[in-house]
Amino acid sequence: MLSSVTHPLLLSFAFTLTATSCLQAAWQNDTVLIQKEGNSTVVKHPGDNKTLFKNTDSQLAIEWGLKTVTHTVILGGEYVISDRIDIPRPGVTLVVDQHATLRLNPESTHTTIDFKSRNAGYWQMLPMIYNKGHDDVQILMFGTLEKWKIESKDNGKQTLPIMFDGRNEKGNCGLSGGVMMVTGHATDSFWLVDSARVHVPIVALDTNPGASLVLEGCEDCHLGLIASISPTKGGNTAETIDLNSRNIDITIERLVGERSQEIIDCNESHVIVEDVISIGSPRKMFGRGPISGPRYTNRRSFGSRSLDVRNTTILENAVGSRLIHEVPRFPDALPAFTVQTTVEIALPNNQKKHYVRKAAFDLSDQTTSE
């Protein structure tokens, strides 16, 4: 009698263990780790020391991962890439560890894009990570993307960190869905162009770029915490976000700037912002300039704009600020992990104010938690 009772329970327990093992194996087989070994960059599955691909050019190793599996995780180390990293297909995830640094080889041949309103070749931009027209791509940037720039009297060329680019001949949004997440280090703006329904939980920088995030020709994008904090105590920042032109149905949870030139620059765009926080008195809170000519977007002009800011806080007596990024250790934290960014603002009498945003990810089922 005892065996007849325990037998189904044992079967159930065995089935659960098997299902769990299959799920574990599934995400590991669909994930690769990019890491340095001597002068080479190697690609391996998590928990497996077998080398799947190896090359002295880090760009080729990273792109091999993106072409082969769903999730590519760049572990800590310094990686020199010969050209931009092109996202090759929809639905992939690229994670850059907080201890990873990517830099461009200035001696190699580069693939660039031009500003639409400039003469071809006048000023060439090289997105270090470039998603051209692919839906549902996740780029989670926790590391460092080093800037490279060269300039002469007649022209120039430089890197920018990451661009989602949905431009196409139809003049609509040529990519839909996906995630851009930035808690790492970069000194230039991150870009969304002609993109729809891209979610940006966090872009928080303390390097004072021209703007932390720039949007052109985008639709139905939800942004979480977008922050630009001065790298020096009591310093200023430029813009927190630049809605350069032709954006519609953009919603933003919170913008934070520090004595900003403009916290938000809204040109020919329609946006709703829940909270705007100024650390110190801004030089200008909101910019509502005239309809601007396009720089990248292929979207047609609609000739109107609206900016609805629900709550505004000016912390005039702020004496300091810093960003606190809580990023887990990879690959130990895989497949499910949570990232948290806190904007900490120091006030007189040892008081502090905190603004927190979390984002959770699970590579085993490609979901993002708000």
pLDDT for 103-118, tens place per residue? Answer: 999 999 999 987 655 5
Q: What is the pLDDT of residue 19?
A: 46
Structural domain boundaries of the chain? Answer: 28-320
Q: What is the pLDDT of residue 60?
A: 98
| DSSP secondary structure of 278-339 | EES--S-SEE--SPPPPSS--PPP----EEEEEEEEEETT--EEEEEEE---TTTT-SEEEE
What average pLDDT does this structure show over 92-109?
97
Summarised one tens digit per residue, pLDDT across range 202-249 is: 999 999 999 999 999 999 999 999 999 999 999 999 999 999 889 999
- The mean pLDDT of the chain is 91
Kindly give, in sequence order, each residue whose CB lies less than 8 Å from that of residue 245, ignoring residues fewer than 6 positions away.
216, 217, 267, 268, 269, 291, 292, 293, 294, 295, 297, 299, 301
Q: Which of 165-169, 190-194, 266-270 bottoms out in mean pLDDT, i.e. has the lowest?
A: 266-270
Q: Flag whether pLDDT at 4 surpasses 50.
A: no
| Residue 25 binned pLDDT confidence (cut-offs 50, 70, 90) | confident
Q: What is the pLDDT of residue 2?
A: 42
Summarised one tens digit per residue, pLDDT across range 300-313 is: 888 888 999 999 99
How far is the C-alpha of 226 from the C-alpha of 200, rounded, in Å? 9
